[in-house]
Amino acid sequence: MGSGLFPDHSYIHACYFRYILYQDKKRKKVEPAEYMTENTLNVPAKCYAIKYYEYDGKEARHALEFGGPGGYCGN
């Protein structure tokens, strides 16, 4: 996926999303809740990975990074 590299918190090797927000029922922008989990993809770890970095400072705010080599991920 992308460069084929796993997330490493550098934001230049794998794909990433920064400034993650969502809208509530009143269409107000809200930052992610504390209950977001780090590994939500249902794929073997040797294929892809996703890392959620929670609040990662002013530059990225709430961010996640994902990627991996993909290919055949069977047993």
Q: How far is CA 36 from CA 10, 23, 53, 66, 68, in A?
A: 21, 15, 10, 15, 21
Instruction: Inform me whether the pLDDT recorded for 68 exceeds 70.
Output: yes
State the pTM of this model: 0.62
Q: How far apart are CA 9 and CA 12, in angstroms?
A: 8
1-58 confidence digits (pLDDT tens): 568 888 888 888 888 888 888 888 899 888 876 545 554 545 567 788 888 877 777 7
Between 73 and 42, the more confident residue is 73
pLDDT at residue number 57: 79
pLDDT at residue number 41: 46
Q: How far apart are CA 4 and CA 42, in angstroms?
A: 18
Q: Per-domain residue ranges for the chain?
A: 1-37
